[in-house]
Structure 1
Amino acid sequence: MPRSLDGLVLAPVADQAPGQVGTRTRFTYHEQDDEIWAEYAGGDVVRGYLVGTREGDLLDFRYVQLRRDGTTSSGHCASAVVELPDGRLRLEESWEWESQAGGGTSVVEQIARSAP
């Protein structure tokens, strides 16, 4: 059975183009049954949401975000969940804008919890 994303915080490993998610963006994931959703913010993104489904280690979702410059954008993303050697989870993503031209790939990884 695949590991749940529920309650995990993930961050991009590299910056995208200006006005998009970057290494300062944090995604907080939620999961129930085959439903997946997250809130995200940081860097050029004031507020963002994603919602979709999970089938095994594959995620399929739509996202929408508000940027610091006051513009909004939305798109579609398909992600593969990969477990890293240290036990953290990584999402390998292929995305495309629906509100504007463009698309690409990105990687987000679970932020390691600090020791108490």
Structure 2
Amino acid sequence: MEKINYHNKRFRAISNSKNGEVDAETFFHYRQGGDVIWATYHGTNIKMGTITGIVKEDSSLVFTYQHVNLNDEIMTGKCISTPKIDEGRIILSENWEWTCKDLSKGESIVAELVQKDNLTPIF
């Protein structure tokens, strides 16, 4: 597989562990410069979040995240995301861990939002 460029890619969460705050209404906007990635995200339970990390040689992502939830708590964690390409879009399988509160772990899947017929973004 050719190395993935995540710059300006948009994603939506499609599943998450119960102990996570990301849900199906959480949207991510990734950017990339060299092997550094960063993103912003927001959703039902998240007012504003950021991601900062590295793109590995195999296109996997290693990053930390932080966000402000609806209770005005600052939540932090770390994640490893493994990509696959499915019908032309990037699917990220994520293994994450809170670095705050109960330090629990979880799994999520986020999928790239692609343009239908190269005209209209799918959200």
TM-score by length of 2: 0.86
Q: For residues 50 and 17 of structure 2, what CA distance do their matches in structure 1 show?
A: 18
Compute the displacement of 1:69 (Å).
1.4
Q: Secondary structure at the match of 2:4?
A: coil
Count of paired positions: 115
Distance 1:78 1:18, change over 3 A: closer
Matches of residues 1-116 of structure 1 in structure 2 within 5 Å? 1-17=2-18, 20-56=21-57, 57-84=59-86, 86-101=87-102, 102-115=104-117, 116=119
- Superposed displacement of residue 97, structure 1: 0.3
Compute the displacement of 1:80 (Å): 0.8
Distance 1:19 1:104 in 2: 7
Structure 2: how far apart are the matches of 1:91 and 1:15? Answer: 12
Question: Offset at 1:112?
Answer: 2.2
Alpha-carbon distance in 2 for matches of 1:39, 1:16: 20
Structure 2: gaps spanning 5 or more residues: none
Q: CA RMSD in A?
A: 1.5
Q: TM-score, normalised by structure 1?
A: 0.91
**Residue 51 of structure 2: SS of its match in structure 1?**
strand
Share of identical aligned residues, percent? 25
Contact 1:74 1:99 in 2 (8 A): yes
Distance in 2 (CA, whole Å) between partners of 1:6 and 1:71 is 29
Q: Structure 1 stretch 28-37 or stretch 12-21: which is displaced more?
A: 12-21
Give 1:82's aligned amino acid.
Answer: K
Q: Using a 3 Å threshold, how does the CA distance of structure 1 residues 83 and 19 change in structure 2: closer, same or farther?
A: closer
Q: Deviations over 1:74-112 (max 9, x none)?
A: 00001111111x110011100000012211111000012
CA distance change for structure 1 residues 40 and 79 in 2, over 3 Å: closer, same or farther?
A: same
Unaligned ranges ≥5, structure 1: none
